[in-house]
Amino acid sequence: MKLRAVLLLAAVLAVAGCVRVNVHGDPSAMNDDAPLRVATYNTSLYSDHAGGLIERLQADDARARKIAAVLQRVRPDLVLLNEFDYDADGRAADLFQQRYLQVPQVGGGDALHYPYRYFAPVNTGIPSGLDLDGNGKVGGDGRDRGNDAWGYGLHPGQYGMLVLSRHPIDHAAVRTFQQLKWSAMPDASRPVDPASRAPHYSDAIWKQLRLSSKSHWDVPVRTPQGTLHFLVSHPTPPVFDGPEDRNGARNADEIRLWREYISAGQPSANALAWLCDDQGRCGGLAADARFVIAGDLNNDPTDGDGRHEAIVELLEHPRVLRHATPRGAGGVEVAADHAQAGIVHHGSPAHATGDFGGKVGTLRLDYVLPSTGQRVVGSGVFWPARGDADSAIADGSDHHLVWVDLVR
């Protein structure tokens, strides 16, 4: 065990060197030749009560300042923020932009302005009117209320999503799949109770369940390199359930939605008539469309809970570009600590994007996956080694920002 820990620590310096060079770049020039930096970041900017994030941001929130500092350091052109509470007026997004991103932060960099953004309602916290957790009652207080929402949440919009962009967003062409029924997916992974071998959800409930725990968005962005479809989501964690593995099944099918969506142009694919967005438009992504799939997908290819084949099949999809996995030095150090305590994983610790405590360890849950036809010229996980000055701003969330630089 000690030997493994030593080997993990030995990898830190090599990883740290390449990350530092790339992170400090600023691909902000608006021309066709400049790399497009695309990122995802689970920010943990949420509250357990409605309006709580607005209150946090009004009160000079220390964690929000660290999140802003990381964004100022990495300076992505296009970024998805997961776990950023939704409010219909965009007040939280306004506050974060004006009081945090546009103000130079300690350990960060110059002020950062995003002229374009996209946000929309999500399923978390929206009452379903159904007894989804099977406790014999609908709704209730606290966790009981959250369990019976379309997606777990203590209020509508908790754990929402926010897209920030330096380039124009084609709002008229955005597609959202918030209300897509889980049962509409062919061969959906309907949860089954192993003891009785009966479906966990009754037919009446199963026909109404929504697939996306938050939402799935196709956000077309007009970049200098052409239109890029930003395919973003945040599937449910494959835990907090029972032997029926209802969250594991849902996580796998939420990831599968993107596999189906980008398969529409393949000869072997069906017409995807079932894959209809909230505006009533059906079908998948055009075969010649350029895309990036991004988000906290809550599934590691080899370690932790979840149906790992779901993420592996997405990584190996013919339209997803093969490239070097983004790396961070901090994950190597933390994995070495966990290894000394007896938690040893199969995946590379340098690929981890977050630390989830003494029982779970480090996992790769956050992804930026470009389509073929593009080239990756840089990438990283913003998880600096402990001795790096940047580590002072890297603990604003239990996840770490992942970025990729793209050229055509």
**pLDDT 10s digits, 143-157:** 999 999 999 999 999
Our CA dihedral for 380, 382, 385, 386, rounded to 10 degrees, sits at 180
Residue 26 has pLDDT above 80, yes or no: no
The whole-number average pLDDT for the span 130-138 is 91
Residues whose CB falls within 8 Å of the CB of residue 225, separated by 6 or more in sequence, listed in order: 32, 36, 290, 406, 407, 408
* Position 31 confidence tier, pLDDT thresholds 50, 70, 90: low
Query: Which residues neighbour 59 within 8 Å (Cβ) at sequence distance 6 or greater?
Result: none
Q: 256: part of which helix (H) or strand (E)?
A: helix 246-261
3-state secondary structure of 55: helix
Query: What's 81's domain CATH number?
Result: 3.60.10.10
pLDDT at residue 7 greater than cutoff 80: no
CA distances from 339 to 12, 175, 386 (A): 15, 43, 17
- Which regions of 62-113 does DSSP assign to beta strands (E)? 78-84
Q: How confident is the model at residue 264 (pLDDT cuts 50, 70, 90)?
A: confident
Read off the pLDDT band of 10 (50, 70, 90): very low
Question: Domain count of the chain?
Answer: 1
Instruction: Kindly state whether residue 206 falls inside one of the protein's structural domains.
Output: yes
Question: What's the whole-number average pLDDT of the chain?
Answer: 92
Helix (H) or strand (E) holding 366: strand 366-370
Reply yes or no on whether the pLDDT at 21 is more than 60: no
Q: Check pLDDT > 80 for residue 291.
A: yes
Dump the DSSP string for 170-214. Answer: -GGG-EE-TT-BGGGSTT----B-TTT-SBSS-HHHHTT-BS-SS
Residue 341 maps to a domain:
yes
pLDDT band at 33 (very low <50, low <70, confident <90, very high): confident
Which two tokens mark 9?
């620590």
Q: Domain containing 194: what range?
A: 2-122+157-407
Does residue 145 sit within a domain? no
Which residues are 276's β-sheet partners? 282
CA–CA separation, 70 and 42 (whole Å): 12
Tell me whether residue 129 is in a domain.
no
**Res 134: pLDDT:** 87
Burial of residue 386 (CB within 10 Å: 0-12, 13-18, 19+) is exposed
pLDDT digit string (tens) for 243-260? 999 999 999 999 999 999
Phi, psi of 36 (to 5 degrees): -100, 115
Give 344's pLDDT tier (boundaries 50, 70, 90).
confident
**Share of residues in the chain with pLDDT > 90 (%):** 87
Query: Can you spell out the DSSP letters for 277-344?
Result: -TTS-BS---TT-EEEEEEE----SSSSSS-HHHHHHHHT-TTBPP-PPP--HHHHHHHHHHHHTT--
Q: 403 in a domain, yes or no? A: yes
Domain membership flag for residue 134: no
pLDDT, residue 93, reads 98
Contacts of 210 (CB under 8 A, 6+ apart): 123, 150, 151, 178, 179, 180, 181, 182
How far is it between the farthest Cα atoms of the chain?
61
Question: What is the pTM assigned to this prediction?
Answer: 0.92
Instruction: Mean pLDDT check: name the lowest of 13-22, 36-45, 210-219.
Output: 13-22
pLDDT in tens, 57-112: 999 999 999 999 999 999 999 999 999 999 999 999 999 999 999 999 999 989 99
Contact 335, 303 (CB under 8 A): no
Taking alpha carbons only, the member of 273, 314, 278 closest to residue 293 is 314
pLDDT at 147: 94
Q: What is the pLDDT of residue 276?
A: 96
Residue 146 lies in a domain: no
* Residue 19 predicted with pLDDT over 70: no
Q: Is the pLDDT of residue 38 over 90?
A: yes
- Mean pLDDT of the 353-359 span: 93
Question: Is the pLDDT score of 20 beyond 60?
Answer: no
Contacts of 402 (CB under 8 A, 6+ apart): 39, 40, 41, 326, 353, 366, 367, 368, 379, 380, 381, 382
Mean pLDDT value across residues 297-312 = 97
Give domain status of residue 131, yes or no: no
Q: What is the DSSP string of 105-160?
A: PTTS-S----SEEE----SBT-B-SS--S-SSSS--SHHHHHHTBSBS-SSTTTT-
Range with the poorest average pLDDT among 9-23, 269-283, 330-344: 9-23
What is the per-residue pLDDT for 16? 44
Q: What confidence score (pLDDT) does residue 358 get?
A: 85
Q: Average pLDDT, stretch 6-26?
A: 42
